[in-house]
Amino acid sequence: MARHLGPRLVQCYHCRHRFEVSSRAQSTSCPGCNKALMVGDEHITKLRGPLKELRTCGRITVSKRGRLIAETIEAHGGIDCQGIIDAKKVLSGTTVTLGPKCDYHGDLTAPAVEMQKGAKVKPSMFAVPSDPLGLTELPEAGESG
């Protein structure tokens, strides 16, 4: 029998309104601005893009063979890149992990960056503020609230 997880707190990436969603929700609309939101995790396993934006209240994972090309990437649950990310601007609410085979290009704003030996990073601006998206009250990815 599956364990029931309670609702989780998310923040709209359009208007920054905070509200609760079901732990199983993949998408919803914001009660603050009525715009559509992705709240589930995104798994990139092949070429995805070029996109204007990829935003989610969840986590973005780029596999070893994955390639994500976008102007703007925003993931409130963090980013794990084992493949390729090519973006102008990347925002993360939690730690960004750049794996040993990662090829990364883009300006990054995140509270922490973990670069493993072998990761390739093209010259970019990295900012590491303590709370880039104002998510301090939101639980870490994987925690139940």
What tens digit of pLDDT does each residue of 44-60 get?
Answer: 999 998 999 999 999 99
Question: What gap in Å lies between CA 113 and CA 97, rounded to an integer?
Answer: 6
Question: Hey, which residues does 98 pair with through a beta bridge?
Answer: 81, 115
Same domain, 33 and 54: no
Same domain, 7 and 49: no
In the prediction, which pLDDT does 99 show? 97
Provide mean pLDDT across the span 62-73: 97
Contact indicator for 23, 7 with CB cutoff of 8 Å: yes
Strand, helix or coil at 80? strand
Provide mean pLDDT across the span 60-78: 97
Q: Which residue did the predictor score with more confidence, 129 or 90? A: 90
On whether residue 138 sits in a domain, the answer given is: no
Residue 130 has pLDDT above 80, yes or no: no
- Each as own residue / partner, the long-range contacts of residues 104-113 (CB below 8 Å, 24 or more positions apart, any chain) are 106/73, 110/78, 110/79
What tens digit of pLDDT does each residue of 73-127 get?
Answer: 999 999 999 999 999 999 999 999 999 999 999 999 999 999 999 999 998 888 8
Question: What gap in Å lies between CA 93 and CA 134, rounded to an integer?
Answer: 8
For the chain, the domain total comes to: 2
Query: Containing domain of residue 113, as a range?
Result: 41-133
Question: Hey, which residues does 127 pair with through a beta bridge?
Answer: 109
On whether residue 19 sits in a domain, the answer given is: yes
Residue 143 has pLDDT above 70, yes or no: no
